[in-house]
Amino acid sequence: MTTLKGPGIFLAQFMGDEAPYNSLESICKWVASLGFTGVQIPTWDGRCIDLQKAAESKTYADEIKGIVNAAGLEITELSTHLQGQLVAVNPAYDALFDGFAPASVRGNAKARTDWAVQQLKYAAKASRNLGLDAHATFSGALLWHTVYPWPQRPAGLVETGFTELAKRWLPILNTFDENGVDVCYEIHPGEDLHDGITYEMFLEKVNNHSRACLLYDPSHFVLQCLDYLSYIDHYHERIKMFHVKDAEFNPTGKQGVYGGYQNWVNRAGRFRSLGDGQVDFKSIFSKLAAYNYRGWAVLEWECAIKDAATGAAEGAPFIKQHIIKVTEKAFDDFAGTGSNDAFNKSILGI
């Protein structure tokens, strides 16, 4: 068993134009003052990191690491959620996702995909330069608009979609493998990898690639009514990252999983600050410790009700309280009687 590392915090939801949220140095000092010990860095935010430079210059990567370390923190992982989304985009979402890309490739789907793939490859090399062994991202989606089978899906559509998704990701996975880093897909609605079944379909297409791993975030499973504890039993060997995020699902006679086109406050399923939702974190932390999860417990704060700074301040002690310092001996060792092969055979009468 292993004691989880943490608490860490994902910086994406906190970066802004005002201090202390407007630079890596200042935000690191702020989160350290709250009790966090690690930061997960969004690579699309230039206030945090120049991804290409971190990939191409070990000296620059060391400078980024030094800024974080100077605040008493470690880098937990890098994130390319927005770039990963752009590896595969159905044309129905072109206009909505163009904003994730630089202006130079907007309106050009092929150029945007090429840019996203290169970003992921930079992330592999930057992770290596920073001494990291896991990376957070999204899979992107070609099939999401068909998630509900109406109109009826044409025969072979899903097969073709996952074949193409794997074709796009295999070179990226190989680059990560060359750099000794796991790709951790956040299983998430809006992605073709949004539950266990779709992850397994993708895994088959990439020949069970050893680097095609998982970022575990129970909040997305609460909103799908998926058994998020059993999920750990199924996939613990592939879970290399953990977002600690809470959620609640309160269906009514008027709406359920699909949410009735309502905003986040008025949806039956919504994300909440840690401790305000329905996730059974005690069981999650116990399972991850028992399954020898060696990574970080990282707060991803998203809540439509509570103030962000308050959520962050509450998040560090919440995670600390849930991290289990695992035992190095059995609780009943005091009653042990010793053992050898002859003694064991005598007990069994053989």
Instruction: Write a three-state SS string for the chain.
Output: CCCCEEEEEECCCCCCCCCCCCCHHHHHHHHHHCCCCEEEEECCCCCCCCHHHHHHCHHHHHHHHHHHHHCCCEEEEEEEHHHHHCCCECHHHHHHHHHHCCHHHCCCHHHHHHHHHHHHHHHHHHHHHCCCCEEEECCCECCHHHCCCCCCCCCCHHHHHHHHHHHHHHHHHHHHHHCCCEEEEECCCCCCCCCHHHHHHHHHHCCCCCCEEEEECCHHHHCCCCCHHHHHHHHCCCEEEEEECEEEECCCCCCCCCHHHCCHHHCCEEEECCCCCCCCHHHHHHHHHHCCCCCEEEECCCCCCCCHHHHHHHHHHHHHHHCCCCCCCCCCHHHCCCCCHHHHHHHHCC
Q: So where are the chain's domains?
A: 5-348
For residues 8 and 14, the answer to whether their CB atoms sit within 8 Å is no
Q: What is the pLDDT of residues 50-71, one digit of tens each?
A: 999 999 999 999 999 999 999 9
> Across-strand partners of 75?
39
Q: Which of 26, 22, 41 is nearest to 296 (CA)?
A: 41
Who's near 247: CB < 8 A, 6+ residues apart? Answer: 218, 219, 220, 222, 223, 269, 270, 271, 272, 277, 278, 279
C-alpha 199/C-alpha 185 separation (Å) is 9
Q: Quickly state the pLDDT bin for 23 (edges 50, 70, 90).
A: very high
Task: Note the CATH number of domain 5-348.
Answer: 3.20.20.150
Taking the mean position of all CA atoms in its chain, how far away is CA 6? 15
Percent of all residues in the chain with a pLDDT value above 70, rounded to a whole number: 99
pLDDT of residue 242: 98
Q: What average pLDDT does the segment 307-331 reach?
A: 93
Q: Which of 194, 245, 256 is nearest to 219 (CA)?
A: 245
Q: What are the tokens at 337? A: 């009687």
Query: Which pTM does this prediction carry?
Result: 0.95
> Across-strand partners of 5?
296
Say whether pLDDT at 296 is over 90: yes
- Mean pLDDT of all residues belonging to the chain: 96
pLDDT of residue 126: 98
Q: What are the tokens at 211? A: 């680097």
Q: Quickly state the pLDDT bin for 346 (edges 50, 70, 90).
A: confident
